[in-house]
Chains A and B, each alone.
Chain A
Amino acid sequence: MSADSIALTEGVYYILLALHQPLHGYGIMQQVEQMSKGRVVLAAGTLYGALNNLVARGWIVALPMATDSRRKSYQITTLGKQMVEAEIARLQELLDNGLHIIAQEKGGAEHEI
């Protein structure tokens, strides 16, 4: 899948953003909730499936576990960062087009009045 043809789900996008620093599952969930001001809450099974999927695609990597820890941590890879950048460009295009059309319509409506 090419970087410019993909639309990430909201959950995956936030997971990738959160993993710009190494985090374990619970940390990811908290970070995403915090970033989205409580709007995006990742369910445990959803998060687990997404993490496995992202590891399989090489977008994130599971870090070697410390001997005294049972928690697995993850971090974004270079490929994952490219995906985030492509997604930001896609979102920017959506935003620009949306704002442009709305502004045009508002301008037109003002002239009509």
Chain B
Amino acid sequence: MKIRDVALIGILSATITAGKLVLSFVPNVEIVTLLFIVYTVVFGVRKSFLASVVFSTTEILIYGFSTWLLGYYLVWPLLIIVTGLMSKKMESEYVYATIGAIFGYAFGALFAIVESIFYGLAYGWVYWLRGIPFDLIHGTSNFIIILVLYKPMINILTKLKASYYQT
């Protein structure tokens, strides 16, 4: 790994953390999913995965350790892998908006699985059921945000990558 890769991963994870904090006052509306998808398409799975590890660790530093944060180490890499596989075949923003929507709708269920490991199946079930309205907001807002912003962001980042990264 080159120094510029380390710098890039730092910048990517910092923008994701900042993007999350900026929208933290609106429950379950976020641009983290959009950023991970766009970064994976432009910079690839490996760098995005490392950015996700830095991002998840930063979350622990900000909010303190709790079991739900462990889920971050699983769900973001999962999104990156799915995006990485799709990016080889698909370019349409509708595909990525759909991935983001499915990811948002399933977010509570994915975390419920992690919570079940620690607190039992009954807790995981209730955790998921209670969070359904939040998952609906999450998936729907992901779809809209990605559909609107995916193409412009891809265009800007591709140009920036050509100018500053691929020298």
A binds B: no
Binding site for B on A (CB under 8 A): none
Binding site for A on B (CB under 8 A): none
